[in-house]
Structure 1
Amino acid sequence: MHISAKADYAVRALLELALDTARPLTCEGIASSQEIPFRFLKAVVGDLRRAGLVRSQRGCEGGYWLGRPAEEISLLDVALAVDGELMTLRGETPAGLAYPGPASGLPGIWRAVEAGARRIMEETSIASLLGGYRPAAAPAPEPSAQPAAERVAV
């Protein structure tokens, strides 16, 4: 299975957008932060916008935001938005493959690989990838600063 640069860059851009939802982010800022070639990222973000995964605003206060909550954007959504298909073999999807003789069972394996990858990617959201990540500028609160209901007794 091949994960395209477009899919990788798209997920990384969405993670940046999910981390800071208070303001729009520019492609320049995302490209710099994630060390992604700007011109390539611009095309990727266009695909994400057409799929409704990001929304944009023009102008000096413009940029990009998530098109829907990070919890509702799966890795599968992203891959399909930028690549069109999850897995292909010589330009065909595994669903259409059929081989003769001793190789006749192989297309079933490719379909199982695709189904497994599809399930994992469908169950993984942008929000779940952020998990407990906090930028260096926003350290985790001290345990004593947490409300008593959130403290865990040791």
Structure 2
Amino acid sequence: MHISAKADYATRALLELAREPSRPLTCEAIASSQEIPFRFLKSVVGELRRAGLVRSQRGCEGGYWLGRSADEITLLEVVRAVDGELITLRGAALGGLRYPGPAAGLPGVWRRIEAEAAAVLGGTTLASLVAERPAGTEAA
């Protein structure tokens, strides 16, 4: 399974927003904090906004907030918002995939992998990740 830069950056940006949900953050602040290229992040945040995962406000008091509570946003939603399908084979969805002969069982394996990945991502919220602290780190 390939995790795209878009999915990684989108998740990291949302985690920054989830860490302090009471105040807006600018793309510049998120990019700096997470060491993400600003221009790339700007387009990713646009996709997150269109998906309803972030909301924005212009002006000197503006920036970005989560579109919903961090405990309501799963990693599966984030990946699908920026990448579409979770797993593809040569750019196509796995749904109608069929192989002849001895390879007939292979599409089922690919679909099981997709289902397992979806279960892990769907069961992981932003709030659960913000609450986790790796050993040896302290709250900021």
TM range (shorter): over 0.9
Q: TM-score, normalised by structure 1?
A: 0.86
Partner of 1:150 in structure 2?
none
Q: Which residue of 1 aligns with 2:124?
A: 124
Number of residue pairs matched by the alignment: 138
- TM-superposed deviation, 1:96: 1.5
Cα RMSD (Å) of the superposition? 1.5
CA distance in structure 2 between the partners assigned to 1:22 and 1:104 by the alignment: 52
Which residue pairs with 2:31 in the alignment?
Answer: 31
Could you give the per-residue CA deviations for residues 28-70 of structure 1, whole angstroms, max 9, x where no partner exists?
A: 0000000000000000000000000000000111100000000
In 1, Cα distance between equivalents of 2:92 and 2:3:
16
Q: When the two structures are superposed, what TM-score results if normalisation uses the length of structure 2?
A: 0.94
Greater than 2 Å deviation, 4+ residue runs: 132-138
- Rounded Cα–Cα distance in structure 1 between residues aligned with 2:75 and 2:66: 14
Structure 1 pair 107–137 and aligned structure 2 pair: CA distance change class (3 A): closer
SS of the aligned residue for 1:68 comes to coil
Indicate the residue corresponding to 1:45 in structure 2.
45
Amino acid at match of 1:59: G
Q: Distance in 2 between the 1:116 and 1:110 partners?
A: 10
Identity %: 71
Q: Deviations over 1:131-154 (max 9, x none)?
A: 24498574xxxxxxxxxxxxxxxx
Any idea what SS the aligned residue of 1:96 has?
A: coil
Structure 1: give runs of 5+ residues left out of the alignment: 139-154
Q: Secondary structure at the match of 1:124?
A: coil
1:11–1:95: structure 2 CA closer, same or farther, 3 Å change rule? Answer: same
Unaligned residue ranges in structure 2 (runs of 5+): none
